């Protein structure tokens, strides 16, 4: 056997090899960095795009109205009633608010005459204007007989015109506002009777057929209620299942089979869970349609495998030495699990759960199957009220023909993202809190 030749570490071949190794290192690092920059760039484009168009969704154009609330215009109400504060609320409700708004507008443009012109003029303000007036009066009947001044939402077309800077280069026949109406809007603007402000109406209102009145709050509450049900059902069930499978169940053919099936369930398309929810909760248990409780249960079924898998991984990652230590002291299986293993696995379980919940928050398809796609104006108050959720609301608005709903949909996406951020923030806070304890 001959000796190996001595290695020349400073030969040219060796130097080249070193240089090549460095180059490969650099290329790999560069590609990785480029990938991250690209991803961040895409994210920025996405967010800026949504934010710039969604931002307008939070702004609303309003028109100043000065309304003379003449008592005589309200049938069945007398000046004495107002003076004695004995006005029948029902009669206030039935007041001629449409007429009052119209007359107020006509007072601003005294030279407008003719039925069709007046109808055109009336279209400048939203149909919500008369409701706003009604609510104002029902809240304070002493306003009767006085002149009130208020900002009411403009019609959606006026809103669009104002947000585009009162400029329009589309021929009259192709746009929804006539030249006359555009002229009125310009006059209103010149007289300072027009403003575009950040308004909380979008946040606090429910859905509406009119884009300028449509709000997100109904969907926010619907999402919150739905996710609450999902969390309450899937988290304890999922964690319990993970604990049982990982800590207590005998490893064998049955547990392997269960594991394979859970992994498969995690990959099942979500709409299938929607069908399952439809079949079980609506058809068999006859639970209410479109209700957050059904949506929550359906999403819980979908989230369960994710939480179980994450929980098992987190439990398996707890060092066996901790289990040995507790077992060696005479802790029972339950005590080992609940005093040591579970608390140590909690950060991982929370991370897995939040991923599951985030997926549930963004889920649309299964909810379509159980009727949460309905047009719901009222803010849901209970788990069995009709409701919709944020992503479904985005879907519904994106589907509408009116242009103004585009910015509403973008604004709704922003709200959805904010919801997600808050949820993740809470999860990270909880995770750090659990980690700090040790």
Residue 1 contacts another protein per CB under 8 A: no
Give min distance, CB of 355 to another protein, in A: 25
- Among 112-120, 232-240, 327-335, 416-424, the segment contacting another protein (CB under 8 A): 327-335
Instruction: For residue 287, count other CB atoms closer than 10 A to its CB.
Output: 16
The residue count for binding another protein (CB under 8 A) is 20
Q: What is the DSSP string of 88-100?
A: -HHHHHTS-HHHH
Q: Which is nearer to another protein, 47 or 322 (CB)?
A: 322
Give min distance, CB of 35 to another protein, in A: 36
Residue 325 contacts another protein per CB under 8 A: yes
Considering only 327, 398, 400, 431, the residue that binds another protein (CB under 8 A) is 327
Residue 314 contacts another protein per CB under 8 A: no
Contact pattern for another protein over residues 228 through 267, marking x by CB under 8 A: ----------------------xx----------------
Q: Which is nearer to another protein, 71 or 331 (CB)?
A: 331
Question: 284 vs 277, 278, 280, 287, CA distance in Å?
Answer: 10, 9, 5, 8
What are the backbone dihedrals phi and psi of residue 65, each rounded to the nearest 5 degrees, phi first? -125, 140
Give min distance, CB of 329 to another protein, in A: 4
3-state SS assignment for residue 154: strand
Q: Which is nearer to another protein, 114 or 252 (CB)?
A: 252
- Among 99-107, 231-239, 259-267, 339-347, the segment contacting another protein (CB under 8 A): 339-347
Give min distance, CB of 305 to another protein, in A: 24
Considering only 163, 186, 340, 400, the residue that binds another protein (CB under 8 A) is 340
CA angle at 305 for the pair 304 and 309, rounded to the nearest 5°? 120
Q: Which is nearer to another protein, 258 or 355 (CB)?
A: 258
- Among 156-164, 285-293, 317-325, 410-418, the segment contacting another protein (CB under 8 A): 317-325
Q: Which is nearer to another protein, 417 or 430 (CB)?
A: 430
Answer for the pair 218, 377: CB distance below 8 angstroms, yes or no: yes
Half-sphere exposure at residue 216, Cβ-oriented, CA atoms within 13 angstroms: 29
Considering only 11, 18, 180, 332, the residue that binds another protein (CB under 8 A) is 332
Answer for the pair 253, 322: CB distance below 8 angstroms, yes or no: no
Instruction: For residue 366, count other CB atoms closer than 10 A to its CB.
Output: 24
Burial class (CB in 10 A: 0-12, 13-18, 19+), 334: exposed
Instruction: Match 């209620």 to its residue by tokens.
Output: 225
Give Cβ neighbours of residue 269 (< 8 Å, ≥ 6 apart).
365
- Among 156-164, 268-276, 301-309, 330-338, the segment contacting another protein (CB under 8 A): 330-338
- Among 6-14, 142-150, 337-345, 350-358, the segment contacting another protein (CB under 8 A): 337-345
Give Cβ neighbours of residue 244 (< 8 Å, ≥ 6 apart).
none
Burial class (CB in 10 A: 0-12, 13-18, 19+), 202: buried
Residues that bind another protein (CB under 8 A): 250-251, 319, 321-332, 335, 339-340, 344, 438
């Amino acid at each position: 056997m001959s000796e190996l030749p001595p290695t020349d570490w400073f030969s040219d071949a060796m130097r080249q090899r070193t240089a090549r190794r460095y180059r490969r290192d650099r290329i790999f690092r560069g590609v990785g960095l480029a990938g991250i920059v690209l991803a961040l760039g895409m994210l920025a484009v996405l967010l800026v795009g949504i934010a710039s168009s969604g931002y307008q969704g939070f702004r609303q154009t309003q028109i100043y109205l000065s309304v003379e609330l003449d008592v005589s215009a309200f049938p069945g109400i007398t000046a004495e009633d107002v003076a004695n504060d004995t006005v029948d609320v029902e009669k206030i409700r039935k007041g001629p608010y449409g007429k009052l708004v119209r007359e107020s507008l006509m007072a601003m443009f005294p030279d407008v005459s003719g039925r069709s012109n007046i109808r055109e003029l009336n279209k400048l303000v939203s149909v919500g204007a008369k409701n706003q007036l009604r609510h104002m009066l029902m809240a304070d009947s002493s306003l009767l007989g006085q002149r009130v001044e208020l900002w009411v939402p403009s019609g959606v077309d006026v809103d669009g015109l104002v947000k585009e800077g009162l400029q329009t280069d589309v021929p009259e026949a192709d746009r929804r506002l006539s030249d006359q109406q555009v002229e009125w809007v310009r006059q209103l603007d010149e007289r300072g009777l027009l403003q575009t402000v950040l308004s909380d109406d979008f946040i606090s209102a429910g859905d509406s057929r009119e884009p300028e009145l449509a709000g997100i709050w109904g969907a926010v509450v619907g999402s919150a209620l739905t996710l609450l049900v999902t969390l309450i059902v899937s988290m304890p069930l999922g964690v319990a299942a993970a604990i049982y499978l990982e800590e207590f169940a005998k490893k064998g053919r049955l547990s392997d089979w269960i594991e394979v099936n859970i992994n498969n369930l995690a990959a099942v398309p979500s709409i299938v869970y929607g069908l399952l929810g439809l079949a079980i909760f609506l058809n068999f248990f006859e639970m209410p349609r479109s209700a957050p409780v059904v949506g929550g249960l359906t999403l819980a079924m979908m989230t369960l495998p994710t939480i179980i898998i994450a929980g098992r991984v987190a439990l398996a990652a707890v060092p066996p030495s901790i289990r040995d230590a507790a077992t060696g002291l005479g802790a029972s299986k339950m005590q080992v699990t609940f005093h040591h293993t579970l608390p140590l696995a909690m950060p991982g379980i929370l991370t897995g759960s939040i991923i599951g919940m985030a997926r549930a928050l963004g889920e649309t398809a299964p909810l379509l199957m159980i009727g949460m796609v309905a047009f719901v104006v009222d803010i849901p108050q209970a788990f069995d009220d009709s409701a919709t959720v944020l992503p479904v609301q985005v879907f519904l608005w994106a589907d509408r023909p009116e242009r103004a709903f585009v910015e509403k949909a973008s604004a709704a996406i922003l709200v959805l993202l904010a919801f997600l951020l808050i949820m993740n923030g809470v999860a990270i806070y909880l995770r750090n809190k659990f980690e700090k304890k040790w």
